[in-house]
Structure 1
């Protein structure tokens, strides 16, 4: 058994033990602004048709990354396809933070978006986000792993070596960049952030990876799907960092719409995702690097159960009002 396989097996066991007593169908904690009559844990469309949003321009945002301009180009062909399917203008909104993305949807300025794994619950509960799809490989498999990385020669060779050192997280809403490592390091190794090791927030997985490589951070918790794409683009090189921990597979970024989008427009938006031809597209060139080549249907109730459980384990609650 390789060291990486051992770490993965160990972490899978840790998650199973940590969450055994927690319900995987945690009830929704929706803002009082929303209703959930059908019990699917996401906000229902308003019953009053006058509250349905039917904008002339749809605003789309991808989860925050270090250089949004890169992803504006990656998504350009897809958004042109969405314009064709919906009959609407579609504008790319280059968000700089999870907070900005959440606030934009909550305020009604963002209609369609990709929210990262960890921010899905708060987007659903506080901003009225309704996820319906995510990227997957040709065989329908999906997801990514959380990795803890360090730079070669740091003296950190295992998780226990993090005691007395420092680690970069990405943002408090990130699953692999904060929530999962916080829960797992505490439960399995007795390492508590800011007590047993110093912490910093980098703002994004890209920043954390580059920060470790440049020795700004001694270690970092990242999503390996991001490092895979950075490697493929030549932004970083093999051997720039060492992986000391690899997690179980988590669901990746989900895509969806704001709850009050006109139902007929919702159908067209969904059709835009599921009818998109990936072949020879910029989307394929970018996301094939992390093994993704299609959009598949998902539900927040089923596919985000493990993430809601991690939130429970971390004592996360939502006060959206």
Structure 2
């Protein structure tokens, strides 16, 4: 079986950009150790099916993963919907596939609070401490900020203070431990944590649920040739038909992969548009 290499150095990834190793990044939706543990076997399977060595590249922020894609320093990435939608013109990335999770092709942003919180709505979080995940995150930043700005509020004045945790499980942990009053998190990560670590999510509760967004996609760099892109897509689309592949998908609560359309991410792109950097006058109700 081809070896899996855990790459940390951006310059190292860049020097192999034209080689026979497949460089794959996983966006920082979970902490580095949990991301590595969760995706290691899936990526091993992909490497074995391709007959290639594989470099597993991790970065702290979504912006760093986007830059690696734009510079063709990685071949493929499991990214957040936000970074995909933010690249509205010369993207440097191509849609490859999208997971269907527990029968759903959509997910939500959850605003969570501690289980003991008396908050009943987002309005009740005024002057509270709040955790975002990443400035490019759809569920962990774009959506909650959009809701606030639509109601005429800016995060920096609505909340007493805010932090960026750089992963959704870190945000869940921060609320559970009382380090912050509330956080915005990816529903898929919260549900995954509830299944695997109920003692942690049991210390939190969901205050607000957003509308539906297309699940974060898998993309390839613009520099990947079509034959390799098609081969990788074919492996992912049929992975659930292979007993070994299906077992690995089940570990991630993934049913199968499907081919997404760019239009599915239009609502995320809408929230990120510069025209929504300012909201209307104060007084619009918050959920």
Band the TM-score falls in, shorter-chain normalisation: 0.7 to 0.9
Asked if the contact 1:124–1:130 (Cα under 8 Å) also holds between the matched residues in 2, the reply is: no
Cα distance in structure 2, aligned partners of 1:67 and 1:308: 25
- Give 1:226's match in structure 2, choosing from 170, 184, 189: 189
Q: Is residue 2:205 matched to residue 1:239?
A: no
Unaligned runs of 5+ in 1: 1-52, 317-321
Asked if the contact 1:86–1:265 (Cα under 8 Å) also holds between the matched residues in 2, the reply is: no
- Give 2:247's match in structure 1, choosing from 278, 281, 286: 281
Deviations 1:75-113 (A, max 9, x none): 333323322443322222133221221222223221011
Asked if the contact 1:75–1:283 (Cα under 8 Å) also holds between the matched residues in 2, the reply is: no
- Give 1:207's match in structure 2, choosing from 141, 153, 170: 170
Asked if the contact 1:81–1:272 (Cα under 8 Å) also holds between the matched residues in 2, the reply is: no
Give the match for residue 124 of structure 2: 161
Unaligned runs of 5+ in 2: 1-16, 279-287
Give the match for residue 79 of structure 1: 43
Q: Is residue 2:159 matched to residue 1:193?
A: no
Give the match for residue 297 of structure 1: 259
Give the match for residue 70 of structure 1: 34
- Give 2:96's match in structure 1, choosing from 132, 135, 141: 132
- Residues 21-40 of structure 1 aligned to structure 2 (within 5 Å): none
Report the secondary structure of 1:160's partner residue. Answer: helix
Cα distance in structure 1, aligned partners of 2:117 and 2:200: 18
Shift of the 239–154 alpha-carbon distance from structure 1 to 2, 3 Å rule, reads: same
Give the C-alpha shift of residue 126 in structure 1: 5.8
Shift of the 109–235 alpha-carbon distance from structure 1 to 2, 3 Å rule, reads: farther
Deviations 1:134-182 (A, max 9, x none): 111475x311111111113344232111122221111110111111111
Asked if the contact 1:169–1:200 (Cα under 8 Å) also holds between the matched residues in 2, the reply is: yes
- Residues 42-57 of structure 1 aligned to structure 2 (within 5 Å): 54-57=18-21
Give the C-alpha shift of residue 54 in structure 1: 4.9
Give the C-alpha shift of residue 224 in structure 1: 1.4
Give the match for residue 108 of structure 1: 72
* Number of equivalences: 257
Cα distance in structure 2, aligned partners of 1:137 and 1:157: 29
Q: Is residue 2:269 matched to residue 1:308?
A: yes
TM-score calculated relative to the size of structure 1? 0.73
Report the secondary structure of 1:260's partner residue. Answer: coil
What is the RMSD computed on CA atoms of the aligned residues? 2.3
Cα distance in structure 1, aligned partners of 2:166 and 2:101: 28
Shift of the 206–137 alpha-carbon distance from structure 1 to 2, 3 Å rule, reads: closer
Report the secondary structure of 1:181's partner residue. Answer: helix
Deviations 1:175-222 (A, max 9, x none): 11111111112324x432111223222212111111111111111111
Cα distance in structure 2, aligned partners of 1:193 and 1:123: 23
Asked if the contact 1:103–1:127 (Cα under 8 Å) also holds between the matched residues in 2, the reply is: no
